[in-house]
Amino acid sequence: MAVVASAAGFSAHSARTKGNNSRTDTEGYRNLIDAAKSAGMPRVVLISILECDKARDVPHFSQKFAAEQYLIKRGQPYLALRAGAFLDRAKDVVISKVRNGVFPDIVPGVPLDMIYSPDLARCAAQAALDLPASALNQSVDICCDVPATGTMLAAAFTRVLGRKIVAKPVFSPFVLALLPSVSRFFPQHLRNQIPVMKWLRTGAYVSHTSQRQKQKQLFGELPTIEDSVARYCRDKGLIEPIAPGLHPEEEVR
Question: What is the predicted pLDDT for the residue at 243?
Answer: 55
Q: Is residue 69 part of a domain?
A: yes
Total structural domains in the chain? 1
Q: Is residue 239 part of a domain?
A: no
CA–CA dist 207, 186 (Å, integer): 32
Q: Which domain holds residue 222?
A: 3-234+244-252
Question: What is the predicted pLDDT for the residue at 178?
Answer: 59
Q: Is residue 162 part of a domain?
A: yes
Q: Is residue 130 part of a domain?
A: yes
pTM score of the predicted model: 0.86
Nearest to 135 by CA among 81, 173, 89, 97: 81
Q: Rounded to a whole number, what is the distance in angstroms from the first to the last CA of the chain?
A: 41
Question: What is the predicted pLDDT for the residue at 253?
Answer: 43
Q: Hey, what amino acid is at 6? A: S
Q: Is residue 166 part of a domain?
A: yes
Angstrom CA distances, 19 to 12, 22, 29, 184, stand at 14, 9, 16, 20
Q: What is the largest CA-CA distance in the chain?
A: 56
Q: What is the mean pLDDT of each run of 10 residues along the chain (253 residues)?
A: 85 53 81 97 97 89 94 98 88 87 93 96 97 97 97 97 94 63 56 79 93 96 97 91 55 47
Helices and strands (H and E) in the chain: how many: 13, 8
Instruction: Give the CATH number, domain containing residue 92.
Output: 3.40.50.720
